[in-house]
């Protein structure tokens, strides 16, 4: 009887052979760095360009930074054990790690509007499921935004305040340097 293979043939770095390795390692490093950054922020000795207050930033990074890395590492290792499928290795795993890192530095327009009290409720926390962050984007900015995905369009089309040209969920608009000066109007609450 032939044993069931546990790994694909892979000659790359050992860090990318199992999902837990990069996510647990970088999650642990990130947790330590987050605490080192948060303490001076909390005491007002360090200012970070963020839309979050220091405590909110700390909570956000624990939930979406550290916790997501640990859960991803666990699931990417446990699911192959549970299902008998071969684990993700190499480049696909590296892409997931890079996406996680990009999420640590990315902020959406919704977070900025919510944190500066512009009247955006953002009840779902940016999960594209509630439309409480509906905005009207200025005409000249529309072509610079990423294309609208299916969920966002479905949610918006159900609203009475929907405008086919200009309505967006601010949680789906990345807050990037290229959008510096973007003009938006908060849609009426429904």
Q: What is the pLDDT of residues 81-110, one digit of tens each?
A: 888 888 888 899 999 998 888 777 766 677
> Looking at the whole model, is its pTM more than 0.85?
no
- Which spans in the chain are helix H? 20-42, 54-61, 68-83, 90-105, 109-115, 150-157
Q: The tokens 């993700």 sit on which residue?
A: 88
Report d(CA 68, CA 86) in Å as an integer. Answer: 22
Domain boundaries, the chain: 14-106, 111-186
Length of the chain: 190
Q: What is the pLDDT of residues 56-87, one digit of tens each?
A: 778 888 888 889 899 999 999 888 888 888 88
Percent of the chain with pLDDT over 70: 91
Domain covering 111-186 in this structure, CATH number: 3.10.20.30
Q: Cα 157–169–124 angle (5° rounding)?
A: 105
- pLDDT for 71 equals 92
26 pLDDT band, cuts 50/70/90, is very high
What is the token pair recorded at 175? 């807050």
- Strand 134-137 versus strand 184-186 pairing type: antiparallel
Report d(CA 69, CA 23) in Å as an integer. Answer: 5
Report d(CA 7, CA 10) in Å as an integer. Answer: 8
In whole numbers, what is the pLDDT of the chain averaged over residues?
Answer: 83
């Amino acid at each position: 009887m032939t044993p069931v293979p546990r790994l694909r043939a892979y000659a790359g770095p050992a860090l990318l052979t199992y999902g837990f390795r990069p996510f647990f390692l970088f999650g642990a490093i990130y947790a330590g760095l987050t605490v080192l950054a948060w303490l001076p922020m909390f005491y007002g000795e360090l200012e970070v360009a963020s839309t979050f207050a220091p405590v909110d930033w700390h909570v956000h990074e624990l939930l979406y930074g550290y916790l997501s890395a640990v859960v991803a590492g666990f699931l990417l290792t446990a699911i192959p054990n549970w299902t008998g499928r071969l684990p993700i290795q190499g480049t696909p795993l590296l892409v997931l790690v890079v996406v996680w890192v990009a999420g640590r530095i990315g902020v959406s327009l919704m977070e900025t509007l919510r944190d500066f009290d512009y009247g955006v409720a953002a009840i779902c926390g940016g999960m594209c499921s509630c439309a409480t962050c509906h905005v009207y984007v200025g005409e000249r900015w529309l072509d610079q935004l990423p294309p609208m995905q299916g969920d966002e369009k479905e949610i918006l089309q159900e609203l009475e305040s929907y405008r086919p040209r200009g309505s967006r969920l601010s949680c789906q608009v990345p807050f990037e340097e290229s959008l510096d000066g973007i003009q938006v109007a908060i849609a009426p609450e429904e």
